[in-house]
Amino acid sequence: MTDKDLSTSNQTFESIRREDNDGNEFWFARDLAPLLDYRDYRNFLRVIDKAKQACALSNHPVSDHFGDVTEMVQIGSRAQRAIEDIKLTRYACYLIVQNGNPAKPVIANGQTYFALQSRRQELQDETSFAQLKEDERRLMLRNELARHNKDLAAAAKQAGVKTPIDYAVFQDHGYKGLYGGLGAKEIHRNKDLKKSQKILDHMGSTELAANLFRATQAEEKLRREGVHGKTAANHTHLEVGKKVRQTIKELGGTMPENLPAPDKSIQQIERQQKKIDGKKKNEQDDS
């Protein structure tokens, strides 16, 4: 999935990106509308309203991502008139695409594009992340996943997933979607883990990243669509897992169940890191 998948014959999403005086990127709604095949701006405003609701449900301040502005446009050789527009962040554009008409090919293609791009931007600067060692990546992603799993659990509870057993079934549906039908028990068995060991603590950075993407997208979809009922929540998690798996396939990646299990657990890495930090502290105290 590339920027060309979200384009008209002569424009792409990145080509209509703008920057303010402080170097912050943004998009104008009136530029984005025709790119997403909305010829009537009034219809596009309805999509923006849905995106604002999704933004609020995801606990993001709407005003941080959707800013009303007035622009002066040329209507004749000397005349100008004011038109209303909206400044959008990348996250706002993502929400707009997610709430657009999937019957439009550019919307269908753009949904995966924006999901991947927005998550990449939120998680870390790409260059600095690439410079981390594998163990450091695993620690960072595992901690991030722990935080987002709490958010996912809260969204699932709001949808009707109440008991620990309900939530275990809900989680299993997400795994089955991402792992081609394998549930938590099968994944645990494939990794040859003991009963007390958690599968998330025995994943490499690539596998953790796939599960983080699954968790964040499932949470947002549950909140955005107001999913209600255990069955509907389970189905949503399953479909999100399948979508992430399909994206991995389209990008030519390795399916998560085929990724090698790391030699060290997250707990072993944490213990090693504590020893290193302790040694550094002692050296500083002695100097």
From the list 127, 215, 149, the residue with the least C-alpha distance to 177 is: 215
| Cα angle 60-58-187, degrees, rounded to a multiple of 5 | 130
Is 231 in contact with 238 (CB distance < 8 Å)?
Answer: no
What is residue 27's predicted lDDT score, i.e. its pLDDT?
95
Which residues have a Cβ under 8 Å from the Cβ of 230 and sit 6 or more positions away?
159, 160, 161, 166, 169, 170
What is residue 118's predicted lDDT score, i.e. its pLDDT?
54
The span from the CA of 81 to the CA of 73, in Å, is 6
What is residue 116's predicted lDDT score, i.e. its pLDDT?
57
Q: How many CA atoms lie within 13 A of 178 on its CB side?
A: 27
What is residue 9's predicted lDDT score, i.e. its pLDDT?
45
What is residue 121's predicted lDDT score, i.e. its pLDDT?
56
Q: Which residues pair with 27 in a beta bridge?
A: 88
From the list 194, 155, 158, the residue with the least C-alpha distance to 174 is: 155
Per-residue pLDDT of the chain (287 residues; tens, 9 = 90+): 445 555 554 578 888 999 998 889 999 999 999 999 899 999 999 999 999 998 888 888 999 999 999 987 777 667 778 889 999 998 899 889 888 887 777 876 676 566 555 555 555 555 566 667 889 889 989 998 999 999 999 999 999 999 999 999 999 999 999 999 999 999 999 999 998 999 999 999 999 999 999 999 999 899 989 999 999 999 999 999 999 999 888 888 899 999 998 999 999 999 988 887 777 777 666 65
Question: If DSSP codes are grouped into helix, strand and coil, which group holds residue 33?
Answer: helix
The span from the CA of 166 to the CA of 216, in Å, is 19
Q: How many CA atoms lie within 13 A of 19 on its CB side?
A: 6
What is residue 1's predicted lDDT score, i.e. its pLDDT?
44
Cα distance between the two ends of the chain: 53
What is residue 6's predicted lDDT score, i.e. its pLDDT?
55
The span from the CA of 204 to the CA of 207, in Å, is 5
Work out the number of other CB atoms within 10 angstroms of the CB of residue 225. 15
Which residues have a Cβ under 8 Å from the Cβ of 283 and sit 6 or more positions away?
none
Which residues have a Cβ under 8 Å from the Cβ of 232 and sit 6 or more positions away?
159, 160
Is 207 in contact with 248 (CB distance < 8 Å)?
Answer: no
* Inter-CA distances, 169 with 19, 165, 237, Å: 45, 6, 10
For 100-138, the DSSP string reads S-TTSHHHHHHHHHHHHHHHHHHH--HHHHHTS-HHHHH
